[in-house]
Structure 1
Amino acid sequence: MLEPLVVIPVYDHEHAIGAVVQGVRASGLPCLLVDDGSHPACAQVLQALAQAHPEQVSLLRLAVNQGKGGAMLAGFAEAARRGHTHVLQIDADGQHDPADIPRFVSLATQHPQAVICGIPVYDDSVPKARLYGRYATHIWVWINTLSLQIRDSMCGFRLYPLAPVTRLVGEETIGRRMDFDSEILVRLFWRGVQVISLPTRVTYPSDGVSHFDVWRDNVRISRMHTRLFFGMLRRAPRLLWRRVAGTGAA
């Protein structure tokens, strides 16, 4: 039986997070806000949300900003401590539609050992440079998995089975900032975890705040793809055999 916990990594999204939490609460799932070292204005909003809905919303505060990946790793650890089986990740900036949460949970109920990964269905609000720039990462992910099965590795709306994630983060180092989303999917895929894609509507973003640092994060992502490429070379025979045997992620 699935026991999912919604984990929302938050860094200074005080204007959007209220609507996101309201949408999550409508799903009926418990929600953990991970305050990733936000400034006082956002920290106060998060505290108020947790106090207003203590039966469903809880708050984990990180004293120092650790990046999206660091916040999610803290959320995974807390979810495991509480005995949850799955973690549903959704971004705090309002670009994802919480009304789709039941669709993720329904698909995970059918495939409890798989990652259910959102595929963005964009409206006209998406910046064209961001849209086209994603394809560089898509291509690298397809190279590093020797597969086209991970159709989008950058969407921050996804549902993880917690057991394989806990094993992975206990044994390997995962990027702690904007390199996190792609890297954890590739490394889970390498370990034989099924990845199932689910289209979901995406808008850009409701509060106009993005923490993507064009220079630093692109350098991190490039380094991540390079590390994964050499990791793929060591795993290539096994990955190719999985394709031949028909056991690759779907």
Structure 2
Amino acid sequence: MTPARPCVLIPVYNHEQAIGRTCAAIRERLGLPLLLVDDGSDPACAATLDALAAADDVQLIRLPRNRGKGAAVKAGLAEAQRRGYTHALQVDADGQHDPADLPAFVADLAADDERLRIGYPRFDASVPRHRFYARYLTHGMVWLDTLSFALRDTMCGVKLFPVAATRRLLARHGCGERMQLDTELPVRWVWAGGEVLNLPVRVHYPLDGVSHFALGRDNALLVAMHLRLFAGMLCRLPRLVWRHVKRTTGRNDA
């Protein structure tokens, strides 16, 4: 078994108060190289990232303007492939995910492991209740779009991407430049027959209280994405139903 060569991919946009502590916590738990993607941050955050990039295990790439989380993740994946990393563990910059839960994502990882390892949150009392319940709107759409419960939570900001396989999928389907990527990529992964491993991640909201969700713009983009995925599900319906029947029959035979 050829060992994997993973890195940690962190898209950053104006999280200068949190990113240093996030990097330190990840470094302590994982000891993996960090790939920071500056998504057009303001000067204060850009300066913080420059200081972090002075460390030997931190690499920084910078987008000239803010393009969104999806664009930052795509740019990071392209850079990860260029540098020869086999896997990229995406972690949000704001420190809301418990670093103690991250080693499970890279445990026993082989270079040819093409499973999408995706986190599902274990919230503490700090989670805003409207966010907690609103997530189930997306969960329901995802379960409908895939005709399965293969994806427990697509919106979690911790995902381990097999770099080459993910970039092949993105070459066929853009999956959006902003927050649409979080959900659209896993749905299309399942449609393509890719394997998914769901792992728990404890979540505390959040370290610096900064949210970049633009209510009007991002909700409109997400609605359009869900409509597009629902239409895609209808086109794939016979194949998805047949896949479900085979899984069910296989379990019954066992």
Q: Confirm or deny: 8 A CA contact 1:107 1:116 kept in the other structure.
A: no
1:32 aligns with 2:31: no
Q: Confirm or deny: 8 A CA contact 2:71 2:177 kept in the other structure.
A: yes
- Residues 108, 118 of structure 1: alpha-carbon distance in 2 compared, 3 angstrom cutoff: farther
- Secondary structure at the aligned position of 1:207 is classed as coil
Question: What CA RMSD, in Å, does the superposition of the two structures yield over aligned residues?
Answer: 1.5
- Residues 211, 107 of structure 1: alpha-carbon distance in 2 compared, 3 angstrom cutoff: farther
Q: Confirm or deny: 8 A CA contact 1:108 1:159 kept in the other structure.
A: no
**What is the number of residues matched between the two proteins?**
245
Unmatched 5+ stretches in structure 1: none
TM-score scaled by length of structure 2: 0.93
The residue that corresponds to 2:13 in the other structure is: 11
Mapping 1:202-241, distance limit 5 Å: 202-241=203-242
TM-score scaled by length of structure 1: 0.94
Mapping 1:83-122, distance limit 5 Å: 83-106=84-107, 108-109=109-110, 112-122=113-123
User: How many Å separate the matches in 2 of 1:99 and 1:49?
Assistant: 22
Unmatched 5+ stretches in structure 2: 249-254
User: How many Å separate the matches in 2 of 1:217 and 1:104?
Assistant: 29
Q: Confirm or deny: 8 A CA contact 2:114 2:162 kept in the other structure.
A: yes
Structure 2: which amino acid aligns with 1:22?
A
User: How many Å separate the matches in 1 of 2:186 and 2:18?
Assistant: 26
- Secondary structure at the aligned position of 2:197 is classed as strand
Percent of aligned pairs sharing the same letter:
54
Deviations along 1:110-140, one digit per CA (max 9) or x if unpaired, are 9922111111000111011111110100000
Mapping 1:1-250, distance limit 5 Å: 1-26=3-28, 27-51=30-54, 53=55, 55-106=56-107, 108-109=109-110, 112-246=113-247
Q: Confirm or deny: 8 A CA contact 2:180 2:222 kept in the other structure.
A: yes
1:99 is displaced (CA, Å) by 2.4
Q: Confirm or deny: 8 A CA contact 1:108 1:114 kept in the other structure.
A: no
Structure 1: which amino acid aligns with 2:77?
F
Deviations along 1:158-212, one digit per CA (max 9) or x if unpaired, are 1011122111111122111111100110011111111111111001110010111
- Residues 107, 209 of structure 1: alpha-carbon distance in 2 compared, 3 angstrom cutoff: farther
1:101 is displaced (CA, Å) by 2.0
Structure 2: which amino acid aligns with 1:152?
D
- Secondary structure at the aligned position of 2:117 is classed as strand
User: How many Å separate the matches in 2 of 1:107 and 1:237?
Assistant: 36
User: How many Å separate the matches in 2 of 1:108 and 1:193?
Assistant: 16
Q: Confirm or deny: 8 A CA contact 2:39 2:72 kept in the other structure.
A: yes
User: How many Å separate the matches in 2 of 1:158 and 1:238?
Assistant: 26
User: How many Å separate the matches in 1 of 2:213 and 2:131?
Assistant: 11
